[in-house]
Amino acid sequence: MNTKELVEQIYKKKSFLCIGLDVDLNKVPKHLLKLDDPIFEFNKAIIDATQHLAVAYKPNIAFYEAYGIKGWKSLEKTITYLNTNYPEVFTIADAKRGDIGNTSTMYAKAFFEDLQFDSITVAPYMGKDSVEPFLSFEDKHTILLALTSNQGAFDFQTKKIEGKELYKNVIEISKSYHNAQNLMYVVGATKAEYLSEIRGIIPDSFLLVPGVGAQGGNLQEVCKYGINDQVGLLINSSRGIIYASDAEDYAQAAANKALELQKQMEEILLFKK
Amino acid sequence: MNTKELVEQIYKKKSFLCIGLDVDLNKVPKHLLKLDDPIFEFNKAIIDATQHLAVAYKPNIAFYEAYGIKGWKSLEKTITYLNTNYPEVFTIADAKRGDIGNTSTMYAKAFFEDLQFDSITVAPYMGKDSVEPFLSFEDKHTILLALTSNQGAFDFQTKKIEGKELYKNVIEISKSYHNAQNLMYVVGATKAEYLSEIRGIIPDSFLLVPGVGAQGGNLQEVCKYGINDQVGLLINSSRGIIYASDAEDYAQAAANKALELQKQMEEILLFKK
């Protein structure tokens, strides 16, 4: 999927919501545990109930890997279900990968070709030759960690190199990578005030913004500083939506939470015009 | 496995060699492709032929993920084979993971509990709360990326924050993490001259050193600057050993290459005493 199609979907659905599928078997409704593949059944119900309210879904790969081969099967079924039934949805493998060249190519193949994700999150620590292998896939997107939403972001990301924070160095340098047009960036909602400066460096790029809701980020603040002509934002919410209820009504409860966010986004998009 | 046992193995085998199991089906001997699980069969033969010469094995997880569920099965079989037949061997999941707290915990469970690896490589970009979840597992080790062996290492890792290179900041700050005694560090062999400065910061830690051989690093140089009282080095070689031959004699050819390195290491250990 290219960004033009993504922007069309945003205006069609009046939403720039991304739903994080971080499925933890300790948190899903108990009645699902009797089923053969509770993770997939949970995802399927959440997706069916929310697909008209969200433009993107983001399975966090750790939650699947933690269940070994069973987890990988659930992941495969989930991405296949999305691609088959809702091909208009943008899919993100939240994998935070990054390795030397030939190894990054293997990861890119795993997520872009084998699993057919539209995008993957990638860590920048190892530099250019660890990121460019992901960028070489056409109509696939590499979402580079810039400024994350956790406390540890202040350990290194906000430290200054020659007067400029590491995360700004990451963003600026990445603009010169081959196929940089396929880049998006992770910028945590808990640091909304940083967004205007980031927009100064990358006015046109899409930003994936985690941390709204459970982690305390504020949607209006993020949009105030981060929205651009093409909207340019994907706001992720995971736990706040998918664990809205642990009873049999969980999918409907998730849809209600997603609707709340979608309504706020609709208003922001109206106001923006 | 704790580091005391690892050091005992090093002196017993007169080797601090780690063999990287980066199995690419395009590179394994053709006759294996007829088998049900060529990746595992390849690994099994390499391990059986070299286990007396190496103290550690390091499957690069990307190479398994690239083959989807089939790849995960090969990985499971490989680590189970190692743990069952050669429990004295130190095992490294070269996964380069790192995510916010609860997600890092899921990755730690996947590799430490489910797959029973002794250690995992972790990227430091997201800071303390992304690394500490890995450190909380007893007798398991977290191998933090410090200075990698690729060209991209110069993009950020060697840039200075308040007069000190990012990789040195990473090493120094990580020393204050909870359970820091479970840390080891990745330091590329292609940058051997940096090792004496690194030893100034962490005289006692184990270093995992990739880049000897195929990537041009020099064993003698690395040892000159990096060896400590407990040896403190695991020298990794992947392609140089496992792809020494693509004919039916591949396991023997790998053993010959491993023996060359082991003999050099034996001499270094003798000279050291």
Interface with A, mutate which of B79, B122, B126 (most A CBs under 10 A): B126
Q: Are A255 and A50 in contact (CB under 8 A)?
A: yes
Check pLDDT > 70 for residue A162: yes
**Which pLDDT does position B192 carry in this prediction?**
78
**B120: helix, coil or strand?**
strand
User: For A64-114, what is each residue's pLDDT tens digit?
Assistant: 999 999 999 999 999 999 999 999 999 999 999 999 988 999 999 999 999
**Which pLDDT does position A82 carry in this prediction?**
98
* Chain A residues within an 8 Å CB radius of B59: none
Q: What are phi and psi of B245, to 5 degrees?
A: -145, 145
| Residues facing residue A119 across a β-bridge | A92, A141
* Closest CA of chain B from A63, distance in Å: 6
Confidence of residue B193 (pLDDT cuts 50, 70, 90): confident
Question: Domain holding A123: CATH number?
Answer: 3.20.20.70
User: Per the structure, how many domains does chain B have?
Assistant: 1
Check pLDDT > 80 for residue B217: no
Rounded Cα distance, A240 and A142, in Å: 25
Closest CA to B16 of B222, B181, B256, B215: B222
User: For B126-168, what is each residue's pLDDT tens digit?
Assistant: 999 999 999 999 999 999 999 998 999 999 999 999 899 999 9
Contacts 24+ apart (CB under 8 A), B259-262: B259/B53, B261/B15, B261/B17, B261/B53, B261/B212, B261/B219, B261/B235, B261/B237, B262/B13, B262/B14, B262/B15, B262/B17, B262/B53, B262/B54
Q: What is the mean pLDDT of chain A?
A: 95
Interface with A, mutate which of B75, B125, B131 (most A CBs under 10 A): B125
Contacts 24+ apart (CB under 8 A), A223-228: A223/A268, A224/A192, A225/A192, A225/A193, A225/A195, A225/A196, A225/A199, A226/A187, A226/A192, A226/A195, A226/A196, A226/A198, A226/A199, A227/A268, A227/A272, A228/A199, A228/A203, A228/A204
Q: What is the mean pLDDT of chain B?
A: 95
**Which pLDDT does position A269 carry in this prediction?**
96
* Closest CA of chain A from B270, distance in Å: 34
Least CB–CB distance from A123: residue in B73, B123, B161: B123
**A73: helix, coil or strand?**
helix
**B165: helix, coil or strand?**
strand
Confidence of residue A2 (pLDDT cuts 50, 70, 90): very high
Give the amino acid at A120.
I
| Residues facing residue A93 across a β-bridge | A120
Q: Are A34 and A252 in contact (CB under 8 A)?
A: no
Task: Judge if ipTM > 0.85.
Answer: yes
CA angle centred on A23, ends B69 and B104, rounded to 5°:
80
Give the amino acid at B272.
K
User: For B230-254, what is each residue's pLDDT tens digit?
Assistant: 999 999 999 999 999 999 999 999 9
User: For B69-80, what is each residue's pLDDT tens digit?
Assistant: 999 999 999 999
Catalytic residue among B96, B159, B164, B224: B96
Closest CA to B125 of A173, A155, A93: A155
Confidence of residue B216 (pLDDT cuts 50, 70, 90): low
Check pLDDT > 90 for residue B65: yes
Confidence of residue B272 (pLDDT cuts 50, 70, 90): confident
**B93: helix, coil or strand?**
strand
Check pLDDT > 70 for residue B202: yes
Least CB–CB distance from B161: residue in A127, A160, A170: A160
C-alpha atoms less than 13 angstroms from C-alpha of A145 in its C-beta half-sphere: 31
Contacts of B267 (CB under 8 A, 6+ apart): none
User: For B146-155, what is each residue's pLDDT tens digit?
Assistant: 999 899 999 9
Closest CA to A95 of B237, B96, B228: B96
Strand pairing report for A90-97 and B90-97:
unpaired
Check pLDDT > 70 for residue A6: yes
Q: Are B180 and B174 in contact (CB under 8 A)?
A: yes
**Which pLDDT does position B90 carry in this prediction?**
98
Tokens of A51: 């697909």
Check pLDDT > 80 for residue A216: no
**Host domain of residue B149:** 3-272
Whether A175 is catalytic is no
Check pLDDT > 70 for residue A264: yes
